[in-house]
Chain A
Amino acid sequence: MRLKNKYVFFKIAVLSLLTLNCTLISCKKFVDIPGPKGSQDQKVTFETDGTATAAVLDIYAHQEVDAPNAVFCTGLAADELVSDDATYAEFQNNTITLESFYNGTYLWTSPYFEIRRCNLAIDGINKSATLSPAVKSQLSGETLFMRAYMYFNLVNLYGGVPLALSPVETANALLPRSTPEQVWAQIFADLQQAKSLLKPAYPSTDRARVNQYAVSALLARAYLYQKDWAKAESEATEVIGSNVYSLAAPANTFKTNSNETILQLYTQTGTSSITPYFFLPEPAVNPVFYLRDGFEQAFEKTALGADDARKTNWTAKNDNGINYVNKYKVPFGTGDEYTILMRLAEIYLIRAEARANQNKLTGTTGAEADLNVIRTRAGLTAKLNLDKAAMLKAIEQERKVELFAEYTHRWFDLKRTPGFTDLSKSRAEEVLPALKGDFWQATDVLFPIPGDQLSVNKNLTQNPGY
C-alpha cells in the first residue's frame, strides 16, 4: 500500500512538472499576439509611399475637423462675431477662464495633437530608407509646413509656447514655454526647409495639399506679422507672380474650384465643417454665431450706391434683423465648398501692407495697386494717392471686410497692428474697449494657458492678467 502510494506520488509529480513546464513555455507564446487588425506600427507606416502619404494626410484631415473653433473663438474675441450660446460668452467678453473648454481643448491641445502627428511623421520619414525621394521630400515639406502653421497660431494666441519637436510624447510633456522669438525662429526654419523641399505644382487635385506657393503664402504672412516687410513682399510676389492664382468673383470665391484658393481642406461631402455654425436654420432663428451688431456698416457702398459685392455675397440678414456670415453656403448634404485656409486676396493685402510699410505707396508696384485689386473685385472705387498712415488704415479696413470670419485674421490683425491714433498701443486697444466695456483688459490680447495644463506641467507659466 505504501509503495503503491509512493509510486502514484512520483507519477503525479513527474506529470505535474512536465505539464507545468510545457504550459509555462506555451503560455508565453500563446499570449504573444500581434497588434489589432487594421493597425500597424510606426516603422511599417513609413516604409511605403502610400502608407507614409496616408499618415501625412491624417494631419490635414484632423485640421479640417479642428479648424472651426479657432474661427469662432477669435472671431468672438475680436469685433466680428457674437453668439447666443452662453458657453461662448467668455470669448465674446474676453473673460476667458482657465477652465475654458474651448480654449483648453481646441485652441491649445488640438494644435499640439497635430504637432505630435507632424513630429511622428517627420521622424518616420527621416528614418525611412524605402520611400521614393520625390515622395520623401514632398511629404517632409508638407509636414514641416503643417507644424509651422500650428506654431504660428499658437504663438499668436498665447505668446511663447513650449516647442515640442520630439516624436517621444513624454519628452515633450514637461517642456517650459519657449520665448516668442524661439517659436518664430522655428516657424521660419520649418517653412524655409519646406519651401526648399516642395515643388510649385500641387501633389494632388483640389489644392488640398501644400505646394511651394502655399509655403510662400504662409511665409509672407509670417514675415508680415514679424514686420520683415521686404521678405513679406517678396514671398507675396512669388505667389502673385506665379500666375497660378487669380481672384474669383465673390459668388465663387469659396467654391471648391475657385482659382483664388492657395490651400483648402478636403471633405468627402464638399461642405466645410465651419458652415453649420454660421448658416441660418430657419428665417426667425439665429445661427450659432453671427455678425456683431454694426459690423455690416463696415462695408462701403459702390460708386453707384450699391452694396459692396462682399456684403451681398458673403453676408445675409435673417427675420430677426441680425446679419450673419454667408461665405460658405452649404451646411449639410453635398456641396462644392471646402474649408479655405489661404487664398490669393490675403496675399494681395499682405503685399500692400508690406509695401506701404516700406513707403511703396503708389504706382503699379505700390501698395495702392494691390489694395485696389481687392476693392475693384468688390465693386468699390479705387483708392489712390493715400499717404502711408491712410494707406495702412485703408488696408486694415479692407482686411476687415475681406477676411472677416476667416480663421484668426481679424483677432491677430487687431493685436499686431499699431493704433491709428496712438502708435504705442495696438489696434485692439482702440477698437475693443468700446465694444467690450469693463470686460476688456489690455492683457486680454493673449489667451490664458489652460489651467489644467499648468497643473500637469509645473514648468509652464501663465500669461499676465490671468
Chain B
Amino acid sequence: MIKNRQFIILILLLLSANLAKAQISLKGTNMPLQKALESIHEQSGYDLIYQVSDLENLKIINVDLQNVSVGKALQVCFANQPLIFQITDKTVMIKKQKPAPAKKASAVYPETDIRGRVIDENGQPIKGATVMLWGDETGTATDANGYFTLHTELGNLVVVTCLGYKRIQFHIGSKDFTIPLTPDNTGLNEVQVIGYGTAVKRLNTATVSSITSVEIHKQPVTDVLNALNGRMTGVQVVQASGSPGAATSIKVRGDNTLGTNGSTSSDPLYIVDGIPQASGTRYDVQNFNSNVRGMNGYTNIFSILNKEDIERIDVLKDADATAIYGARGANGVVLITTKKGKQGKVKINVNLTAGSGRVGHFIPLLNTPQYLDLRKEAFANEKITPTAANAPDLLVWDQNANTDFQKLLLGGTAKIRTVDISVSGGSEFVNYYVGLNYRKQGTVVANDQNITRGGGIMNLSIMSPNKMFNAYFSANYASEHSNLAGSSFLSLIYLPPNFPLRKGDGSLNWVNNFNNPLAALLPTYDAKTNYFAANTVLSYKLLDGLTLKTTAGYNTNSLTNNFSQPAASFNPISQQLGRATFGNSPTSNYIIEPQAEYLKKVGPGRLTALLGATFSQALSETTTLSGSNYTYDTQINTITGAGLVDIIYNYDQYRYASVYSRINYDFMDKYIVSGTFRRDASSRFGPQNRFANFGSVAAAWLFSEEKLIKQSLSFLSYGRLKFSYGTTGNDRIDNYMYLPVYAAGDIYQNIHVLSPNDLAANPAIKWESTKKAEINLSLGFLKDRILLNTNLYRNRSTNLLNYTIIAGQSGVSSSIENLDALIQNKGLEFELTTQNIMSGGFNWKSSFNISFERNKLLSFGEISKASNSSVLYIGEAVDAYINRRKYKYAGIDPTTGAPKFTDLDGKPGLGVSDRYIAPLGHPFYGGFANNFSYKGFSLELFFKFQSSRGKVNQLSNAVVPGGLMNQTTSLLNRWTPDNTTNTIWPLAVTGSGALSSAYTNLRNSDFTYGNTSYIKLKTANLTYQLPQALANKMKMQQINVSLQGLNLLAWAKDKYRLDPEYDYGTYPGLRTVLLAINCSL
C-alpha cells in the first residue's frame, strides 16, 4: 500500500483477482474505514479507487456482515459517512460527498489534463510504462520519474501497462494520482506481436507462442531459432545437424504439404522486423559439393542474427493469427523482433561469454580384436577364403593397430567466445538502441575450423512534439566468416580400426570402399556472409483514432564462398586433379506496406480496424564458378588457375502484392470478436491463378469475467474460451514453375547451348490451401499461480503442390501440379505454468508443455502420380523422409543364424506384398522448465523430450556386419555357432557371399525401425546476481555471472548414435558449457 503525503488516491487493483469471494463478510467495531475497504477488495477482487485523504479519520462504528454483495457491504460501511460510491463493472469509485448533488460521472467532469505517476511495488518510479485510454488507445508513456500526463475526461477508463508488471485499468477519479504496479510473473498481460500489430496475451484472439529476450539470453545457443527448441507447443525446431551454422528450420503443427522442395516446403513464413526472409530459413547456394551441404551449403540467416539483440520471437499458429498473411500463412508465421530503445536514462550493457563444447556421447564401437573376430567369423560363416583383395584388414594391415577414428575426427574441443555491447535509452520523444557484437565458434573436428561473426545494430525512434508524427529507423549489419569444411568425414568414424592412414612411404592410403579421413580434411572452405537490414516506419495520426502508417524495409544478404579440393584429397580412382568452386549469391528483399489503423470506442466496446497493402520482392542471383583440371594445387584458391571452368547462374525474382484487413471488436475485455481478410497476388503462379483470397474469424470469451462464474468459481482467476477458423495458403515452391523457358547450358564447340527446362512448366498451378480450425481454453487458478492453456486444432490442406510423375516418353520426368490430396493435421497442446513456491525469497516456477500431433493423408486422387508416392500411404502420416513400408522381422533362425521374416502374403519368397506399414506409434514432444531463485541466485533447468519412432539398429556404411567397416558394440551380441539364442544380431557375413542378401531384407524390415524417443537436459543456467551494493560500488547498475549449459545430458533408448536429436551420421549437438558475465552500467 502506497501513501503519498499530498494527495493520494489509493488503488487496490488486481484485474485478475485473487481468491475472490463474491460474497463479503466483514466484522468489527471501530474499524478504520480504510481497513474495511481493503478487506472488501481482498474478498471481492474489485478495484476500489479513492483518495486516502478522504478517508482519514473515518471509522466504522459497528459492522457485522455475512455473505453480502460488494454493494451491500459498501452501503453499510458508508452509512452516515460523507462518501458516495459508484460501481462500474468491477471498479468502485469512492468519492467525498460534495454539497452539490452528484451527477453522473461523464457529465460531471470536463475534459482536462490529468497527471499521474506510475510506481513499482517498492515505490520506485517506473519509466516507460504505457498509459492509455481504454477504447481508443490514445496514450502516453511515463517519463524517467514515472510521471505522465493525459488529456481526457475524469471518469474515463485508463489502462496502464508495462512489461513485467500486471496490467491495470481503472476509472480516473482525480486529476493527480499515483498508480502502483505489481509484478507479473504469469505473462498473461504480456504484449504479443501478431500480424501487423500487437495484442495483450489475455485478450489475444490469435494463438501465439512467444519467447522473450530474458529466455533467449539464458540459453547458450548461437542460432536464435534454437532458443525456441522444446519451449513451445506445436513448434518443432529441426536442425540439419548440431554443427555451427547448420540450417535450422521450424515446423509449426506438422507437415501441411507434400513438398516440392523437401522439408523447406513446410517452412513457416519468417519475418524479421517486418521484412519477410526470402525463402525461409535459408536460400540455396549452388550445390558446391554434396559433402558441404547441410553444413555450409546454405546460408542460415538465423545464425547471423545476434541473439542478444533479439527482443522476442512470436510464432503465430492458428487461422486468426496467420490468415492475415494469406497465401504464406499456412505453415505458420515466425515474427522476430529486435530490441528497441526505451525511455529512460542511458543504459550500457556488456555481455561476455566464453566456453567450449565437446561431443557428449561417443558411439561405442568395436576395438581391433573385436572387429577382427567379427571379420574372421564372417568369412568362416560363408566359407570364403580371405584374400589380400577382399580382406586387407586381416591379411595386409597391422593386426595390433587400433585407431579410435571417432576420437580422431570428433575428439576436439569447440571453443565459443561472444562479446555484446549495447547502449540504449531515450526520452519521451527520442529513443535509441545501439549494439555491437562479436562471436567466434569452433568445432570439434580435428583441424582448426571456426565461424566468426561480428555485427552492429542501431535503431532510433522519434516522435513529433505534438505526438502526431512518429518515425522509426533501424539498421542491422552482420558479417560472418566460416571455414567449416563439411561433414562428409562423419561416416569415416566407422573405418576399420586397424586401417593405416598412410602407406609405408608416407603417402595416403586408399581403399576403394571408403575415403581416407586425412584426405577428407584436406579440402578448404571459406565463406563470407554479409547481412544488412534497414527499416523505416513512418506513422501519422491523421484523425482522431485514425493512424496512417507506412513501413519500408530492405535487407540484403550475400554469401561469397570458395570450396577447394586439392588433388590429394581425391581417391585416385575417381579424380586425379584438383577442383575448386567459387560462389557468389547476393539476395535482396524489400517490402513496402502502407497501412491505416482505426481505433474507436464504439458503443460499449472498442473497435480496432486495420487496412493495409503489401508490395514485396525477393531477388536472388547466384553465380557459381566450378573450376576443375587444376594443373597445380597451388593455384586452387583462384578460378584463373582452373583448366576448365563451368559457370552456373541462377536468377530468381519473387514478387508479392496483397491487400489485407483486420477488424476486432472488444466488448469490455470480456467478449472479443475478430476477423481478417487478405487478397494476395504472387509471381510464383501464372497469370490465370495469380490471385487468391484468404480470411478468418475468431471469437474469445473471457468467462472468468462473468459475475456468475466469479461468484461460483472463485478459485478461477482467469478463464477464456476461444475459437478460430480460417483459410490460409502456401506458395512455397520455386519461382517460374509456370513458365516454359530455355536457359544457357553446357558448352558445345565453344558455344553455350540453350537448353529447355527439364521440368514441364504448368501454367495452371495455384496455391495450396489450408483450412484451420481451433478451440482454445485458458485457465488461471489461485491468482494465476497456475495457468493452463489447451489448444485443440484441426488443419486440413488441399490443392497440394507437388512434383508429379509423368511418363518419361513425354521427355520430362516430372511436372508440378496441384494434387487432389487432403492432408489433415490434428493436435492437442497443453501448456502448464505454475508458481510452486514463492516464500522467504525462494521462488520455484515450472512450465511444462506437451504437443500431440496426428498427421494423416486423408485422401489422394491418384497417389501414383506423386513423385514421392513410395512413401505416401492413405490413412497414414505424411513423412516424405522415411519409408515405413517394411518386412516384418521375426527373429533369428537359431540353427542358421539368418534373420527370419513373417510371410504376410503366404507366397514363397519375400515380395512387395510381404511388407506392411510399420506403425508410427503415438508421437508427442514437449519441454519442461524449472526455475529456482533464491536471493541473488537463480537456476533454470530445461528438459526437452520426444516420443517417436524412426531409424534404429543402423549398421555403419557397410552393407553387412562383417564387411570391411567397423560396427557398434551391439554386434557383440550376434548369432554365432556357440551363441545361438537371444541375440540381437544375425550372423556375421562378408557382403560378397550369398547370405548377405538376408541383410538387404533385414535393412528393409522393421528391425531397423523402432523407438527413437529421448529426454534431454537441453539447457541449464545458473546465474548469480551480485548484491546491488557491490554493483553500485563498482559503479554499475547490475552485474551477474552465469554458467550456461547446452545438451548436457541425454537419455535415449538408442545409444548407438551420437545425438538422439539428430539423424544418424550428422554432427551432434555439442555438450557446451559457457561462463557469461553481464554488466549494466
Contacts and interface: CB of A to CB of B under 8 A. Distances in A.
Interface of A: 5, 8, 11-12, 15-16, 19-20, 23-24, 26-28, 30-33, 35-42, 45, 51, 53-55, 57-58, 60-62, 64-65, 104, 108-109, 112-113, 115-117, 119-120, 161-162, 164, 169-170, 172-175, 204-206, 208-209, 266, 268-269, 276, 281-282, 285, 320, 331-334, 450, 452-453, 455-457, 460
Contact of A32 (B574, B576, B683, B754): B683
Nearest to B650: A36
Contact of B545 (A8, A119, A331): A8
Contacts of A65: 746
A116 B807 CA distance: 12
29 contacts: A12-B546, A16-B611, A19-B611, A23-B613, A27-B658, A27-B691, A28-B681, A30-B681, A33-B655, A33-B683, A36-B651, A36-B652, A36-B736, A55-B754, A58-B748, A58-B756, A61-B746, A61-B753, A62-B755, A113-B812, A113-B813, A117-B755, A117-B756, A164-B809, A172-B809, A173-B807, A175-B809, A204-B749, A333-B577
A208 B681 contact: no
Contact of A41 (B575, B598, B741): B741
A390 to B, nearest CB: 43
Contacts of A204: 749
B629 A112 contact: no
Given A31-B657, A33-B653, A457 B611 contact: no
B811 A116 contact: yes
Nearest to B388: A284
B361 interface: no
Contacts, number: 220
Contacts of B546: 8, 12
Contacts of B913: none
Contact of A112 (B389, B742, B809): B809
A41 B761 CA distance: 12
B107 interface: no
Contacts of B811: 112-113, 115-117, 119, 164, 169, 172
B573 interface: yes
Contacts of A175: 809
A61 B753 CA distance: 8
B596 A12 contact: yes
B658 A334 contact: no
A269 B1065 CA distance: 36
B978 interface: no
B572 A281 contact: yes
Contacts of B806: 169-170, 173, 456
Nearest to B656: A31
Contacts of B600: 5
B810 A173 contact: yes
Given A113-B758, A169-B812, A173-B810, A332 B681 contact: no
A169 B810 contact: yes
A109 B808 contact: yes
B882 interface: no
Given A19-B611, A36-B741, A452-B805, 20 more contacts: A8-B546, A11-B543, A12-B546, A27-B659, A30-B655, A31-B682, A32-B687, A35-B741, A39-B736, A51-B742, A54-B752, A55-B742, A55-B754, A58-B746, A58-B754, A65-B746, A113-B808, A116-B756, A169-B760, A332-B629
A31 B629 contact: no
Contacts of A453: 807-809
A53 B749 CA distance: 11
Contacts of B688: none
Contact of B743 (A38, A208, A332, A456): A38
Contact of B543 (A8, A37, A205): A8
A131 to B, nearest CB: 14
B911 interface: no
A199 B383 CA distance: 65
Contacts of A24: 659, 679
Given A31-B690, A40-B741, A112-B810, A61 B748 contact: yes
B629 A334 contact: yes
Contacts of B649: 37-38
Given A32-B687, A282-B572, A170 B659 contact: no
Nearest to B755: A58
Nearest to A205: B749
A45 B809 contact: no
Given A28-B690, A31-B657, A113-B758, A54 B751 contact: yes
Contacts of B82: none
A356 B606 CA distance: 101
A45 B572 contact: no
Q: Which 7 A-B pairs have the closest CB atoms?
A: A116-B811, A109-B808, A27-B657, A281-B573, A58-B753, A457-B807, A39-B741
A456 B815 CA distance: 13
Contact of A31 (B651, B655, B740, B813): B655
Contacts of B573: 281-282, 285
A36 B653 contact: yes
A161 B809 CA distance: 9
A211 B811 CA distance: 26
Contacts of A269: 629, 643-644
Contact of A206 (B510, B749, B810): B749
A188 B744 CA distance: 32
Contacts of B747: 61, 268
Given A28-B690, A116-B810, A54 B756 contact: no
Interface in B726-747: 735-736, 739-747
Contact of A42 (B613, B644, B756, B815): B756
Contacts of A109: 808, 813
Nearest to B595: A19
A36 B805 contact: no
Contacts of A456: 805-807, 864-865
Interface in B770-823: 805-813, 815
